[in-house]
Copies of this chain bind each other. A is one copy, B any other.
């Protein structure tokens, strides 16, 4: 590929013809409203693996919808410690954290070569004053992010390593399944260290727990290729600790 990171693609972007529109911001919009969205979401950006879409501290101006690829978001403490706060795949929005202070508060880094659609934020605000449905959908997306975060808090605050990893794998497969991928096999886009950071574990613990799941016949693990062998057992791990 000859693309530079951050290249702004010339080709016309159109929510109205995007196969992700039922997973993304335009859910439920009329075709008239969709074409209004099309004029707003007019630029697409390519981000190479390892490159950042934005960094904490940079001025906030737009949200980004993942079109292809995979991202992580990380927050950093003053002393340099990092925490992965989420992984984003096609149809998911990145950058909501920036609205509150007009500055991004996390880094968003591509885990593989990716494309995002840029959604200029003040245009989104004015368009959502016109379209009730767009406004409501946007609010729902923010609310769901809050609910997701609360779920992660529950995970970090009160689950053991096996439960955390099982919950993680199940969450990934559910989201992949919603995008038409297999429910029983997946390829991890992130390292053990990134999984560990997200789950509040060290990479060795993640690795060991994967190995244990394999020994117990729950998963087949070959590096980043995961196959689910016993879905029920994984689900039981998540929803019932010691009973």
Contacts and interface: CB of A to CB of B under 8 A. Distances in A.
15 contacts: A75-B150, A78-B239, A79-B240, A81-B154, A99-B140, A99-B143, A101-B143, A105-B150, A125-B132, A126-B132, A129-B129, A142-B143, A146-B146, A149-B150, A156-B156
A243 B129 CA distance: 49
Task: Determine the main DSSP class of A at the interface with B.
Answer: helix
A2 B100 CA distance: 41
A interface bracket (residues with beta carbon within 8 Å of B):
35 or more
Q: Determine how many copies of this chain the complex contains.
A: 2
A77 interface: yes
The 4 closest A-B pairs by CB, nearest first: A149-B149, A99-B143, A100-B143, A156-B156
Given A125-B139, A129-B130, 6 more contacts: A77-B154, A83-B157, A100-B141, A125-B136, A149-B149, A157-B198
A160 B130 CA distance: 48
Interface of A: 75, 77-79, 81-83, 85, 96-101, 105-106, 125-126, 128-130, 132, 135-136, 139-147, 149-154, 156-159, 197-200, 238-241, 243
A164 to B, nearest CB: 10
Nearest to A83: B154
